[in-house]
Structure 1
Amino acid sequence: MCGRYSLSKSKIELEERFQADMVVDFTPRYNIAPTQLVPVITSDSPRGFSFFYWGITPDFGQNKPVSQKLINARAESVNEKISFRNSFQKRRCLVPADGFFEWKRLGKKTKIPYRFTLRDEDMFAFAGIWEEYETVSGESQHTFLILTTTPNEVVSEVHDRMPVIISRDQEKKWLDKYTSEADLLKMLNTYPGELMMSYTVSPLVNSVHNDVPGIIRKTSPMDQFGNYTLFG
């Protein structure tokens, strides 16, 4: 499961990297969580950023644990499941990111948070699918899911799943409505481990209310529950 990620870049950096326009202001995000409104690039509007809710809207997700929120879809079956197939065929998106988090369990009560990035620490894009629906009040809402797959050797040390990262040279093809299903499925491979790295971060990432630069700083494992401060 991918349940938290970061996008700590500026609006200008995002526009330059993805060659897409963003008509609203964007504040760098260090701890993105489900139900939050974040930028994506859709197959319907590939030259601009849209802002969709991750998984479900805040109102719908209120008081529900993450385990009950639909935030990911398995890449291995996304083209087969009735609930995802139509979106996979017609409503795909890129989800910009510069890192994601997973937790390694140590014993029954202790979990150590890790951040995973590309080796060059550049931005990348998760493979996503999106949906549009109408609320009870008649408003149009948009949500997205992140596709996941088997982990590479870097991620597997911490977790048994990882988000699908679309290769930069395949991003436009992923959004292209005319790309065949066979070609789309070929893009859902595990990202090469030699192109990624990981490091431990502060347990302050555990709370979705913490969203500051200190979240993505490297932290020694021995300091996980010590005197590490967000601003140190």
Structure 2
Amino acid sequence: MCGRYSLSKSKIELEERFQAEMLTDFKPRYNIAPTQLVPVITSDSPKGFSFFYWGITPDFGQNKPVAQKLINARAETIHEKISFKSSFQKRRCLIPADGFYEWKRLGKKTKIPYRFTLRDEETFAFAGIWEEYENVNGESNHTFLILTTSPNEVVDEIHDRMPVILSREEEKKWLDKYTSESDLLEMLNPLAPELMVSYTVSPLVNSVQNDSPGIIRKTSPMDQFGNYTLFG
């Protein structure tokens, strides 16, 4: 599962990286969570950024725990499940990011947050699918899901799933409506572990109310809890 990620780049940096125009103001985000409105690039509009809700809209998700919200789709079955098949074939998207978070359990009550990034700290893109529907007021809403796969050796120490991270070459193919299903499925593998790093971060990331640069700063478990030593 991927339930939190960061996008700490500026609007100008994102436009340059993805060669796409962003018509809306954007401030760097350090703690993106489900139901929030965030930038994506769709197969319908590859030269511009769109702003879609992650998983479901806030109104629909009100008073529902995160466990009940659909925010990810398993890459292994994306082409088979009726609920995802059409989006996989026709409505694919890139979700820009520069890191994602997972939590390592330490005992029954304590979990330590980790941030995963590319080794060069560059911006990348998750593979995603998107959907359009009308709400109860007849307004059009757009949502997206992040595809997940089995973990590489870096993520496996913390979690049993990881988001699909595409290479730059794969990003273009992922948005191309004429890419074959077999070629699409070949992209949905774990990123090579030598391209990634991970480190512990502040427990401030645990609350979606916190969204500041300090969240992505390296913090040892000792700093977090006062008496733990740093571990792998």
Q: Which TM-score band (shorter chain)?
A: over 0.9
Q: Is the 8 A contact 1:203 1:225 kept in 2?
A: no
> Equivalences for 1:1-232 in 2 at 5 Å?
1-226=1-226
What secondary structure, in the 3-state scheme, does the structure 1 residue paired with 2:101 have? strand
What secondary structure, in the 3-state scheme, does the structure 2 residue paired with 1:76 have? helix
Taking the aligned partners of 1:215 and 1:46, their CA distance within structure 2 comes to: 31
Taking the aligned partners of 1:170 and 1:147, their CA distance within structure 2 comes to: 14
Q: CA deviation at 1:226?
A: 3.8
Q: CA deviation at 1:168?
A: 1.1
Name structure 2 gaps, 5 residues minimum. Answer: 228-232
Letter in 1 for 2:219: T
Query: Which runs of structure 1 show a deviation greater than 2 angstroms over 4 or more consecutive aligned residues?
Result: none
Taking the aligned partners of 1:61 and 1:8, their CA distance within structure 2 comes to: 25
Q: Which string of whole-angstrom CA distances, capped at 9 and with x for unpartnered residues, describes residues 37-70 of structure 1? A: 0000000000000000000000011111110000
What secondary structure, in the 3-state scheme, does the structure 2 residue paired with 1:146 have? strand
Taking the aligned partners of 1:169 and 1:226, their CA distance within structure 2 comes to: 44
Q: Which string of whole-angstrom CA distances, capped at 9 and with x for unpartnered residues, describes residues 3-55 of structure 1? A: 00000000000000000000011000000000000000000000000000000
TM-score by length of 1: 0.97
Identity of counterpart residues, as a percentage?
Answer: 85
What secondary structure, in the 3-state scheme, does the structure 2 residue paired with 1:23 have? coil
Q: Which string of whole-angstrom CA distances, capped at 9 and with x for unpartnered residues, describes residues 167-223 of structure 1? A: 111111100000000000001011000000000000000000000000000001111
Letter in 1 for 2:225: F
What secondary structure, in the 3-state scheme, does the structure 1 residue paired with 2:87 have? helix
What secondary structure, in the 3-state scheme, does the structure 2 residue paired with 1:136 have? coil
TM-score by length of 2: 0.97
Taking the aligned partners of 2:184 and 2:198, their CA distance within structure 1 comes to: 28
Q: CA deviation at 1:224?
A: 1.4
Name structure 1 gaps, 5 residues minimum. Answer: 228-232
Q: CA deviation at 1:225?
A: 2.2
Report the number of matched residues: 227
Taking the aligned partners of 1:78 and 1:188, their CA distance within structure 2 comes to: 10
Letter in 2 for 1:82: I
Letter in 1 for 2:119: R
Taking the aligned partners of 1:41 and 1:10, their CA distance within structure 2 comes to: 16
Letter in 2 for 1:65: P
